[in-house]
Amino acid sequence: MFLTHLECSACGLQHQSSRLQNLCLSCGKPLLAIVDLDRARRTLTRETLGTREKSLWRYREVLPLPDNVEPVSLGEGGTPLLRAQKFGDDIDLWVKDESINPTQSFKARGMTVAVSMAKHLGATKLAVPSAGNAGGALAAYASRAGLEAHIFMPRDTPRANITECRELGAHVTLIDGLITDCGAEIALRKTKEGWFDVSTLKEPYRVEGKKTLGYELAEQFNWELPDLILYPTGGGTGLIGMWKAFDEMQALCWIGTKRPRMFAVQATGCAPIVRAFEAGEKSAGEFPNAHTIASGLRVPKAIGDFLILNILRQSNGGAIAVADKEMIGVTREVGSSEGLFIAPEAAACFVALKSLRSASKIRPGDRVVIFNTGSGIKYLDCYEDR
């Protein structure tokens, strides 16, 4: 087993990894998994990766599940990195297409690791607040693991997501409110109901699954990281996970010190990170009256806000907000030029790309990566009146 302990991302307090853990017992901030990289490098090398399965579990030594425990897997990871041949114009633009994952979104990455660890550590009932894709992923992996899934969703969550969760056997509760209200309901009931909370960054292992985005990106670019990453940011687990992966790969001597400029993309109707970044704040207050058609971006308060903001500043990146109307408009533009029916969250990144180029914040020839975090098929409600 390569996992040594859990460590608070804020105060540094160490926690045991041999039992179920949520937030830091001292300051209530997210815990991160610490892996013995010196030991991992003995069997995990860039050369041996080529002989392994095309899934995220190929990076087994830097993932927390003991090597003698079978993961709860549906074949996640190993997604294509596609050159945007027409949309990119004078830049080197690529799309990491996460819609190929089980349940058609990047949420499969986090849930395969989180559910595997939860089962290994003895959980029997899992609960999550979700505006869509995280719920579908939990429902699928909990079903696969033989565990109960209790999913709390805003009542206006896209119908496809609600149906998906129900048909996968999850217990679905619809709430009049936002994802934060769903999370509050879980917090109120979880002890009595015996649920283990697998909310974004409220347990330490979803970020471990998401960090494989960074490992795959480096591997697909032959261990040369891109100049800039545009990432649709709600809870920000993928952004935080990739940054962790970059540091781990440097420690493994797989990459150097170069890092991409990281840009968080949000919706104008829910932009707490953008607002805090522009104000020079270290954390982000709750965004009032949050609304956007991009349900994955409708996170008015992210528990990992301080980590996201630090990454944006450390990388000389930034944060940008995009209007819903622009997201919908660019979806067809991307689809007709690149053959990808992208999620609104990814569409926001394409709009942000145009804005950054107009502001000369992206130079000709820069290698830029956009993450398509899910399939547009799940958001058909957004296009009914078009």
CATH 3.40.50.1100 fits 81-104+207-383, yes or no: yes
Q: Residue 88: what pLDDT? A: 75
- How is the chain split into domains, by residue range? 81-104+207-383
**Which residues, in sequence order, are CB contacts of 266 under 8 Å at separation 6+?**
232, 233, 234, 272, 273, 274, 297, 319, 320, 321, 322, 348
Average pLDDT, whole number, for the chain?
96
Cα–Cα distances in Å, from 20 out to 91, 126, 193, 241, 351? 45, 12, 16, 20, 40
**What is the DSSP annotation of 157-198?**
S-HHHHHHHHHTT-EEEEESS-HHHHHHHHHHHHHHHTPEE-
pLDDT digits (tens, 9 = 90+) for 151-200: 999 999 999 999 999 999 999 999 999 999 999 999 999 999 999 999 99
pLDDT digits (tens, 9 = 90+) for 315-354: 999 999 999 999 999 999 999 999 999 999 999 999 999 9
Q: Please name every residue paired with 21 in a beta bridge, in sequence order, or none if there are none.
A: none
- Could you give the maximum distance between any two Cα atoms of the chain, in Å? 57
pLDDT digits (tens, 9 = 90+) for 93-149: 999 999 999 999 999 999 999 999 999 999 999 999 998 899 999 999 999 999 999
- Kindly report the pTM of this predicted structure: 0.96
DSSP code of residue 271 = -
| Statement: residue 245 has pLDDT above 70 | yes
